[in-house]
A and B are shown apart, each in its own frame.
Chain A
Amino acid sequence: MSDDPDGGAPAGLYVHVPFCHSKCPYCDFFSEVGSGLQSAFVDAALREAEHHAAGRGPFDTLYLGGGTPSVLSPDGLAALVEGLGRVCSFTPDAEITLEVNPDDVTPRVAKLWRELGLNRISVGAQSFNEDELRFLGRRHTAHGALRALEAVREHGPPNLSIDLIYGFCGQSSTSLRESIDSAFSFAPDHLSCYQLTLEPRTVFGRRHARGELQRLGEEEERTCFLIVADAIRSRDFDHYEISNFARTSLVRSRHNQKYWCHTETIGLGPAAHSYRDGRRRWNVTDVADYVERVRGKGDATVGSESLTQKQIRLETLLLGLRTANGISVDFARTIDSGLDIVAALVHEGLVTMGGGRVTPTLQGFLLADGLPLRFDLE
């Protein structure tokens, strides 16, 4: 993978489906609950695709994220996916991912997803422990998660990813390991394991601010991170990003990697971000407003930024050093005293060098937020 923006890889297409049955108390992604605008949204997304994505491509990824895309009715989902297939061009082997909630999964819809041509399902199981699921405000039970995964495995698309959340008060290392074991019982191709973050504009964030909800201590967070990494790495998974693990490097999330190396991505739907040629833009964060704007001119952009060369380089560092791809030695060489800093980081055990690349170690992942600060981009 190149450090250069774009790097010539095909672009990726993202659709933000902004609906949920209920808001999870930790989640700060944009979504609306109980909206009657689902079919209007699907129409608008297709119209926006015509405006922004039709002439581009072929895309080699389509990612339906949210929100909760599985909230869409089977018809609505089919209209969206088939519509995008008509409006945009995709490579034959495109990775097409759908994020789903366990309580939306039945053998029937799993089968439908496969028939629609989706080839990757990301199941938001989060945990397989009853108490933890309740704490996380999830609608499904542990049993429900197991049933959903069975259905996906039996009837759904071939490629399975499971999301887990860990690292909060009340979770034991045993239950964390048990959740990982449960996930592995479905032979997943991919795992995303996120340490719980108390985002300010969420229920958890507010409870934290009021002192009602404690964050884990740094040492405990570190321990949790290492338990997760160790448990998954010991199954020979590829720890290719801070929170992401793939059975082999071939089943890494192709779409998400585009974000991490400045490949062009087009984001459709409210609050979606797009990136192309050093310019990033984002859509309005409101479903009705989004629908109205797109109806008008096919576009719902409300903000954008053009990155300076220096900003692109900073992002290259920050994104690269979160992944197993790291940054190239050539790139490090273009930074003032870059190789000296790399040498210091190697000495400190935070990165390794090899194959022309500077790659964070597990310790490096643990301290990734501070790594870009070690380099002077002036």
Chain B
Amino acid sequence: MHKVENNKAWWLVLPVFLLVAFSAVIPLMTVVNYSVQDIFDQNNAYFVGAEWYREILQDKRLQDSLVRQFIYSFTVLAIEIPLGIAIALMMPKKGVMASATLIIVAIPLLVPGNVVGTIWKIFGRADVGLFGWGLNSLGIDYNYAANPFDAWFTVVLMDVWHWTPLVALLCYSGLRAIPEAFYQAAAIDRASKWAVFRYIQLPRLKNVLVIGTLLRFMDSFMIYSEPFVLTGGGPGNSTTFLSQTLTKMAIGQFDLGPAAAFSLVYFLIVLLVSWLFFTTISEMAKDK
């Protein structure tokens, strides 16, 4: 759309600018400040330069949780995006059933993370939970509290349960916006189901999929409550992800310097991956 050049528009943006500056820039500067100092108490702080950065980049615990974090986020995305599209394609388009399905699909989104953890904690137990009991009676030895693989499986399953609906809802609204005429034209051409999906539905879903993928990447990268409630990050450290490691460091041990340096690196990683994803998608769009 043609936009008018008008610098008075800044007045409209000013409230957002001030609010975000207040709630993001000031805290961010505090973090930067901490990350280069060694702080003993309020009056004793020494400039240490990049020392904390060196320290945390070499920290084995952090490297491990970073690797786990990446595996986790990509696993979750690889399951949720295709599943979400599939669900959206199956949801009814009209009538009471459409509203009912929409609301049921949205239910998991409304459950706070700690409650999700609580549900699966009991649900997955072999003695009192339907899910754990079911798996065990099928002959699968499932115990999320003792077996790292089972803990992983449960954490991923929780996330799929919790957040696939977001992708599904986004795609559903994307599909609903495709004019009926497109389908009629496809029917005249005797296009196959697959061709309709590949050449009509998927291109129209691009925008919502970009939003969905970005949101899911960012949020799965920040996951905290679910594994924390389920096993406290265990067994061992097998489901300890970045947020939990950081919180432990900042609040638990009160290591301000390293925690701050770690925070910035953490933030930069999220920014970098999102930016890469975003530019790749835009480049691909240009090529067409």
Q: Do A and B bind each other?
A: no
| A interface residue numbers (CB < 8 A to B) | none
